[in-house]
Amino acid sequence: MSPCTCDPLLETKNLNVQYGNAHVLQDVTLRIDDGEFVGLVGPNGAGKSTLLRSLLGLIDPSNGEVCCCGRPVHRFDDWTRIGYVPQHAVNVDAKFPASALEIALLGRVAKRGLFRRWTAEDKQAANDALARVGIDHLAERPVGTLSGGERQRVFLAKALAGNPDLLLLDEPTAGVDMSAREDFYNLIDGLNHEEGITILLVSHDLQAVQLCCHRLVALNRRIVYDGSPEAFDEEGGISRAYDMNVSHHPERTGAPP
Ligand code: ADP
């Protein structure tokens, strides 16, 4: 296997991850370039979160390689370039004692260090991040008193506060209602198109991913599809990803029966 020589934002080469005897990721080779908007789909247990956590260097592979910005992940240290919204981030306790601004400020830790006082620059960056996601008016509100959609934006603001080049979003719309979900997809679409932020979005919402992403990757322990969202159905991506026997529906494509 050749080492990482190029400098895409993210790259895995023949990545294998095991938990005990269970092979969760097998031979995953993936490259994400600057400016892309990639949707990652697959059934429960397919290894999507494991892949994101591997990309962040939180899990050691049993084999293969992960590179961030052309460097092996264990030697990569510029974590301000990558913003991460983990699964279930919105499920904070109603009594959680932090305001929206304080949560957004935590996104500055990679830049500032854990035990340093916040500077005026940090506070400005956190406020700007709240404004970028449209909730700067909620800066002082305890996060536990916000709606699911508003909380989701707070955690997106936290990921944006370090001014990353890349956002990794793990099921960010789980647990929020349909209208908040739509607003959220519009918001991240704008971050990609207008601000040029590269996005890797893990979602169960196949339809939304097909609508807003430029590239769709389907994972079922291995990569079973990597290509255009439009061609996913026609090329049998659903059946490969979800282990289903899906027939091609002519009415969806306008093809004759
Ligand atoms: P997905 O995000 O696609 O639902 P995950 O990456 O969360 O999938 O999980 C893939 C598989 O790995 C599942 O079978 C899950 O139970 C297992 N798994 C996840 N985390 C751990 C862990 N820390 N220890 C053991 N098994 C795990």
Alpha carbon of 100 to ligand 1 centroid (Å): 30
pLDDT of the residue at 236: 80
Q: Among 24, 56, 58, 168, which is best to mutate for testing ligand 1, by the most ligand atoms less than 8 A from CB?
A: 24
What pLDDT does residue 233 have?
83
pTM of the model: 0.88
Task: Give the three-class secondary structure for 146.
Answer: coil
- The SS3 of residue 40 is strand
Domains and CATH numbers, the chain: 10-92+165-242 (3.40.50.300)
pLDDT of the chain, 257 residues: tens digit per residue:
454 444 689 999 999 999 999 999 999 999 999 999 999 999 999 999 999 999 999 999 999 999 998 899 999 988 889 999 988 766 777 677 899 999 999 999 877 766 678 889 999 999 999 999 999 999 999 999 998 889 999 999 999 999 999 999 999 888 788 888 889 999 999 999 999 999 999 998 888 899 999 999 999 999 999 999 999 988 787 888 887 654 444 444 333 33
Q: Is-contact 7 70, C-beta < 8 A?
A: yes
Give me ligand 1 centre to Cα 66, in Å.
18
Separation CA 177–CA 140 (nearest Å): 24
- Helices marked H in the chain — which ranges? 48-55, 100-106, 109-112, 120-132, 148-160, 178-193, 206-212, 237-242, 250-253
Widest Cα–Cα separation across the chain? 67
Distance 51 CA to ligand 1 centre (A): 10
Which residues form ligand 1's pocket by a CB distance below 6 Å?
A: 19, 24, 42, 44-50
pLDDT of residue 89: 67
99 DSSP assignment = B
pLDDT at 94: 67
Copy the structure tokens of residue 62: 């049993």
Element counts in the chain: helices (H) and strands (E):
9, 10
Count of positions (residues) in the chain:
257
Q: Are 157 and 127 in contact (CB under 8 A)?
A: no
Which residue's C-alpha comes closest to atom 5 of ligand 1?
47
Give the pLDDT score at 181.
Answer: 87
Q: With contact defined as beta carbons under 8 Å apart, do 29 and 223 qualify?
A: yes
Residue whose CA lies nearest to ligand 1 atom number 14: 45
pLDDT at 5: 46
User: What does the alpha-carbon distance between residue 38 and residue 36 come to, in Å, rounded to a whole number?
Assistant: 6
- With CA atoms as reference, report the closest residue to 100 among 74, 123, 69: 123
